[in-house]
């Protein structure tokens, strides 16, 4: 009986802990709908891993970011962004089918999932983290408009070692504010997002230039700036 009571108490404690975590995350999601996040889990991780290194990040509202930039990241990372609910289940099914067929397991993460990961979680490919990422992404899509998701994503995404957000990346790489980015410059920044610690937007390799060409083609196929016009107004 004493053992059963201990197990029951432990389970109750675990349940209430999980409930508390969920409520805390929900409160953070609602808060950051209106308040710009002062930092992110990835930025905190960088500061812990490299305490002597400078972290570059400057928040700018979406209206002060060139419209080419959100189009470039959508074309590169998540072309169904305007249409899904934070998680692209069709892309996940396709990725799992490819994995079962013997191909490598690709991420299939949406921009909303990447925003949730960068803001709240850690890097890695564990199924636990992916499940948390998906749950948070669904929450973001419920409480945030698509415009806000793009704004937060572009301000916390990593574009190079210690370089977070499009404003810092634009000024450091091109010497201009994010509002002045051209379509090609936006594509260069988007091209490094899969691996910003290795890929460079300022000294693009042949691989990066190939991605830039592909992204520019996708931007054109998505009807250019008209594709996101309804979300950004």
Helix (H, G, I), strand (E, B) or coil at 164: strand
pLDDT tens digits for 18-60? 566 678 888 889 999 999 999 999 999 999 998 889 999 999 9
Give 97's pLDDT tier (boundaries 50, 70, 90): low
What pTM, to 2 d.p., does this model score? Answer: 0.88
The 10s digit of each residue's pLDDT in 105-152 is 555 689 999 999 999 998 877 778 888 899 999 999 999 999 999 999
pLDDT 10s digits, 183-228: 999 999 999 999 999 999 999 999 999 999 999 999 999 988 888 9
Q: What is the pLDDT of residue 200?
A: 94
Q: Is 223 left (phi over 0), alpha (psi -120 to 50) or beta?
A: left
Q: Give CA–CA dist 48/125, Å, rounded.
A: 21
Residue 113 C-beta-side C-alpha neighbours within 13 Å: 24
User: Which class is domain 8-232?
Assistant: mainly alpha
Q: What is the DSSP string of 74-109?
A: HHHH-TTTTTSSSS-HHHHHHHHHHHHTT-------
> Where in the chain are the domains?
8-232
């Amino acid at each position: 009986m004493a053992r059963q009571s201990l197990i029951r108490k432990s389970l109750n404690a675990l349940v209430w802990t999980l409930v508390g975590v969920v409520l805390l995350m929900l409160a953070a999601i609602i808060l950051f709908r209106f308040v710009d996040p002062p930092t992110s889990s990835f930025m905190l991780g960088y500061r812990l891993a490299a305490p002597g290194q400078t972290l570059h990040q400057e928040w700018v509202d979406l209206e002060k970011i060139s419209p080419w930039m959100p189009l470039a990241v959508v074309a590169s990372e998540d072309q169904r962004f305007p249409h899904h609910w934070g998680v692209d289940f069709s892309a996940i099914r396709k990725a799992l089918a490819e994995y079962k067929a013997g191909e490598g397991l690709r991420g299939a993460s949406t921009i909303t999932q990447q925003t949730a990961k960068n803001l709240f979680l850690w890097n890695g490919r564990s199924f636990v983290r992916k499940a948390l990422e998906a749950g948070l992404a669904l929450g973001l899509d419920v409480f945030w408009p698509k415009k806000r998701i793009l704004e937060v994503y572009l301000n916390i995404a990593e574009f190079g070692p210690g370089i977070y957000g499009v404003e810092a990346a634009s000024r450091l790489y091109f010497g201009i504010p994010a509002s002045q980015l051209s379509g090609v410059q936006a594509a260069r920044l988007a091209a490094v997002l899969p691996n910003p610690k290795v890929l460079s937007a300022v000294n693009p390799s042949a691989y990066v230039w190939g991605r830039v060409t592909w992204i520019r083609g996708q931007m054109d196929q998505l009807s250019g700036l008209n594709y996101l016009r309804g979300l950004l107004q």
